[in-house]
Structure 1
Amino acid sequence: MCSTCGCAEGNLYIEGDEHRPHSAFRSAPFSPAPRPAAALTGITFAPQRSDAGDLHYGHGEAGTHAPGMSQRQMLDVEINVLDKNNQIAARNRARFAARKQLALNLVSSPGSGKTTLLTETLKRLNGRVSCAVVEGDQQTVNDAARIRETGTPAIQVNTGKGCHLDAQMIADAAPRLPLEDSGILFIENVGNLVCPASFDLGERHKVAVLSVTEGEDKPLKYPHMFAAASIMLLNKVDLLPYLNFDVDKCLAYAREVNPEIEILLVSATRGDGMDGWLQWLESERCA
Structure 2
Amino acid sequence: MCRTVELRQAVLARNDDGARELRAELAARGTVVVNLLSSPGSGKTALLEAELGLARARGVPVAALTADLATENDARRLARSGAPVKQVLTDGLCHLETAMLREHLAGWLPPDTRLLFVENVGNLVCPASYDLGESLRVVLASVTEGEDKPLKYPTAFGLANLVLVTKADLAVAAEFDEAAFLASVARVNPGVEVLFTSVRTGQGAGVLLDRALAVLDGAEAHRPVMAGAPGHGHSPGHPHAHGPDEGHHHGDDGAHAHPHAPVAERS
User: What's the TM-score once normalised by structure 2's chain length?
Assistant: 0.78
Once residues 275 and 139 of structure 1 are traced to their aligned partners in structure 2, the CA distance between those partners, rounded to angstroms, is 29
Corresponding position of 2:147: 216
**Distance in 1 of aligned mates of 2:109 and 2:131:** 23
Q: How far apart in 1 are the matches of 2:94 and 2:177?
A: 30
Q: Deviations over 1:13-33 (max 9, x none)?
A: xxxxxxxxxxxxxxxxxxxxx
Q: Hey, what does 1:81 align to over in structure 2?
A: 11
In structure 1, C-alpha distance between the alignment counterparts of 2:107 and 2:121, rounded to whole Å: 20
- Tell me the distance in 1 between the aligned counterparts of 2:80 and 2:125: 30
CA distance in 1, matches of 2:12, 2:208: 31
Distance across 1 between alignment mates of 2:120 and 2:20: 18
Whether 1:227 and 2:158 are equivalent positions in the alignment is yes
Q: Report Cα offsets for 1:198-228 as digits up to 9, x if no partner.
A: 0111111211010001001000000000011
- CA radius of gyration, larger in: 1
- 1:94 counterpart = 2:24: yes
After TM superposition, the score normalised by the length of structure 1 is 0.73
Question: 1:130 aligned to 2:61?
Answer: yes
Share of identical aligned residues, percent?
Answer: 41
Q: Match for 2:43 among 113, 124, 129?
A: 113
Which residue number corresponds to residue 34 of structure 1? none
Query: Aligned equivalents of 2:44 and 2:50: distance in 1?
Result: 10
2:104 is aligned to 173
Q: Deviation at 1:137?
A: 0.2
Shift in alpha-carbon separation, 1:278–1:161, aligned structure 2, 3 A:
closer
- Structure 1 stretches of 4+ with a deviation exceeding 4 A read none
Q: Distance in 2 between matches of 1:182 and 1:141?
A: 22
Q: What letter corresponds to residue 90 of structure 1 in structure 2?
A: R
Q: Closer, same or farther in 2 for the Cα pair 1:212/1:140, shift >3 Å?
A: same
Structure 2 counterpart of 1:193, one-letter code:
L
Give the Å deviation of 1:180.
4.3
Note the residue ranges of structure 2 that are not aligned, 5 or more in a row. 219-267
Per-residue CA deviation, residues 245-267 of structure 1 (Å, 9 max, x unaligned), is 10111111111101142111111
Separation (CA, whole Å) in 2 of partners of 1:234 and 1:176:
34
The aligned amino acid for 2:9 is I
Structure 1 residues not aligned, in runs of 5+: 1-69
> 206-215 or 255-264: which moved more?
255-264
> In 2, are the aligned partners of 1:182 and 1:285 still within 8 Å (CA)?
no
Taking the aligned partners of 2:171 and 2:215, their CA distance within structure 1 comes to 29
Q: Is the 8 A contact 1:154 1:177 kept in 2?
A: no
User: Distance in 1 between the 2:200 and 2:45 partners?
Assistant: 11
Q: Which amino acid aligns with 1:117?
A: L
Counterpart selection for 1:154 from 74, 82, 85:
85
CA contact (8 A) 1:264 1:277 kept: no
CA distance in 2, matches of 1:176, 1:110: 29
Q: Residues 131 and 275 of structure 1: is their aligned pair in 2 closer, same or farther, counting only changes over 3 Å?
A: closer
The corresponding residue for 2:224 is: none
